[in-house]
Amino acid sequence: MNPYDVVLYPLISEKTVSMMERENKLVFIVTRKASKNEIKGAVEKLYKVEVSDVSVLIQPDGKKRAFVKLREEYLADEVATKMGVF
């Protein structure tokens, strides 16, 4: 599966910014059909990072939210800056 088809866009809010700082996590809206392994592979390929864990949540509106924890050597706020969200 194409990584651009898996990861739709990053989700940025006050809560997700605090997760970046405290837990080294990024939050993305992903396609409903994507598995955790597909999400992990897509994030690693798109942003050139290593992922240690992926959790997912289906929102009440039907969108799938992926919480991606990066390995210690990668800082979530630096990756977010490279993505252009700050």
pLDDT exceeds cutoff 90 at 1 = no
Better pLDDT: 68 or 1: 68
What pLDDT shows up at residue 86? 77
For 12-64, how does the pLDDT look when each residue is reduced to its tens digit (9 = 90+)?
999 999 999 999 999 999 999 999 999 999 999 999 999 999 999 999 999 99
Closest CA to 7 of 82, 64, 50: 64
Q: Give Cα separations from 70 to 24, 33, 51 (angstroms).
A: 6, 22, 4
pLDDT exceeds cutoff 90 at 85 = no
What pLDDT shows up at residue 51? 98
Q: Evaluate whether the domain defined by 3-74 bears CATH number 3.30.70.330.
A: yes
**Domain locations along the chain:** 3-74
